[in-house]
Amino acid sequence: MARPDWRLLDKDLARLNQMERTTGYVVRPLLGLGLALAFMALAGVEAALVLGTSPTTIMAMVAAVFGAYLALNIGANDVANNMGPAVGAKALPMTAALIAAALAEVSGALLGGSEVVATVSSKLIDPEAMSAPQTVVQAMMSAMIASALWVNLATWMGAPVSTTQSIIGSILGATTAAAGFGAVDWFTFSGIATSWMLSPLIGAVLAMALLALIRQLITQQDDKMAAARRWVPLLLAGMGGAFGTFFVLKLPESLSSTTSSQALLAGVGVALLSFLIARPLILHRAAQLEHQKGAIKALFRLPLVIAAVLMSFAHGANDVANAISPLATIVHVMGQQEAGTHPAEINALASLHVPFWVLIIGAFGMAMGVLLFGPRLVNMVGNQITKLNPIRAYCVSTSAALTVIVASWLGLPVSSTHVAVGAVFGVGFYREYAAAHARRAGQKAERPGLPREDRSRRRLVRRSHVLTILAAWLITVPLSAALSAGIYALMHVFSV
């Protein structure tokens, strides 16, 4: 009897393992797509169960499906702003970051997202020009579809874009198609657009200044650990104060109704508390890490995790409105129509109460978007623009919070996406400047014989990603507006 050749069996098992891995790569995206489609279908079923049999149920179901689609894309794209720096700095692994972000997004949305104030409508759109209920429903439906399609495309391209910009552009496009250019206050919009352009520059400058300050105070000192014991508690206290103020300012009035002065006082209180907590912890941790490589960076890891979770909570509470405002408006208008309200008395563009079932769609849609499609952009922001460590990620997170605080005091609506990504750019370009300065001063030797092409490829900021992201930012409003206007025109033609 011939002896079995176990080597052949091992080769077959190796081939099977390779086939399983290949199948996994193919099936994993399809699984995410399937779960997303199932969630969208459940959103439509939820609308049908809540509203029952009525003439408007079919339209509400369709609106709920597209509202869920928009929420999924907002979660997939915007999570990169909150978790990207922490993941890139290796303060938090990807899986833990996604789970923490999903939980924080749901908590923030359910606790603070029940209030939707139609800021876009009240400031940019003439309510009288959009008084017809059917026009409002078609415009909001067009805005939802167009915004979701653009954010989906941007996520696929790996470009973190502003979902606020996308929904504003979509609403403006549908409004213009429905009521003409005169229905939009373009002077107000130009002021908002200017703040969108300035905010990433402010975030970049603040991040560069913070990184330069840390280099001067700590990393360029002869005794780095002694300097860290002295300055890191103060830096973390500053971070705590910035996030305390940011947190209070960003939460809706249903959770926190405060003025800017009260928010500043809250921030000062959080800063003092942060210092009292951080100082003994930093001293104890520094004693443990004495003479270990990367000891200074390790002191910033835990605060980064806390900051990322807080930013996700505030994002869920604040930006869930981007996902559910159009859906809530459609449900509001159709509800008034069923109640027999005269069309002239339907105030669709005013502040409105959001039904809990609509809030559920927005909250869990963003959470599912984070879990299913978040890794792509988290990896982009955290790893592919420039290399981040805990110190650089600290500069990104703190400067983003400070920029939002300053903008809130000035009354400027800014995009947290622009601010956070601008801060990442700022950190990367400062690293390039510092490296070039060190070479000129003879502190860092240039590699001999390195061609100019290789030197350009070794830049510390990937230019291709910079250009892709900037292009996506520039075309978000006009493209989403044009797409929304086209969808509205089609809906209007087929409804006639």
Contact assessment for residue 382 and residue 85, using Cβ atoms and an 8 Å cutoff = yes
Q: Look at residues 232, 162, 195 and name the one whose alpha carbon lies nearest to residue 420.
A: 162
Average pLDDT over residues 180-201: 84
Cα–Cα distance between 202 and 399 in angstroms, integer?
Answer: 8
Mean pLDDT along residues 438-463:
60
Q: Name the pLDDT band for 481 (thresholds 50, 70, 90).
A: very high
- Please say whether the beta carbons of 102 and 327 come within 8 A: no
The three-state secondary structure class of 353 is strand
pLDDT greater than 60 at residue 446 = no
Is the Cβ–Cβ distance between 470 and 161 less than 8 Å?
Answer: no
Tokens 């104030």 appear where? Answer: 117
Q: Where are the alpha helices (DSSP H) in 181-298?
A: 186-214, 224-250, 260-289, 295-298
Domain boundaries, the chain: 37-445+452-495
- Which tokens hold the place of 80? 């990169």
d(CA 239, CA 458): 32
- Closest of 326, 274, 259, 241 to residue 62, by C-alpha: 326
pLDDT the model gives residue 339? 64
Q: Under 8 Å CB-to-CB from 341, ≥6 apart: which residues?
A: none
Instruction: Tell me what the mean pLDDT of segment 297-305 comes to.
Output: 82
Asked if residue 351 lies in contact with residue 289, where contact means CB atoms within 8 angstroms, the answer is: no
Contact at 8 Å (CB) between 297 and 270? no
Quick: pLDDT tens for 150-171.
Answer: 999 998 888 888 888 898 899 8
According to the model, what pLDDT value does residue 66 have? 93
Alpha carbons within 13 angstroms on the beta-carbon side of residue 283 total 7
pLDDT band at 1 (very low <50, low <70, confident <90, very high): low
Tens digits of residue pLDDT in 366-402: 889 888 888 888 888 888 888 888 888 888 888 887 8
100's tokens = 């923490």
Beta strands in 31-145 (DSSP E): 115-116
Contact partners, residue 72, CB within 8 Å, separation at least 6: 36, 39, 40, 148, 365, 366, 368, 369, 372, 373
- Alpha carbon 207 to chain centroid, angstroms: 18
Give the span between the Cα atoms of 41 and 323, in whole angstroms: 17
Environment class of 2 (CB within 10 Å of its CB; exposed 0-12, middle 13-18, buried 19+): exposed
Query: Which pTM value belongs to this model?
Result: 0.81
Q: Which token pair is 198? A: 């300035």
Please check whether residue 86 is in contact with residue 391, taking contact to mean a CB–CB distance below 8 angstroms: no
pLDDT for 454 equals 45
Decide: residue 16, CB within 10 A, 0-12 exposed, 13-18 middle, 19+ buried: exposed
Q: Which of 13-22, 72-81, 244-253 has the lowest mean pLDDT?
A: 13-22
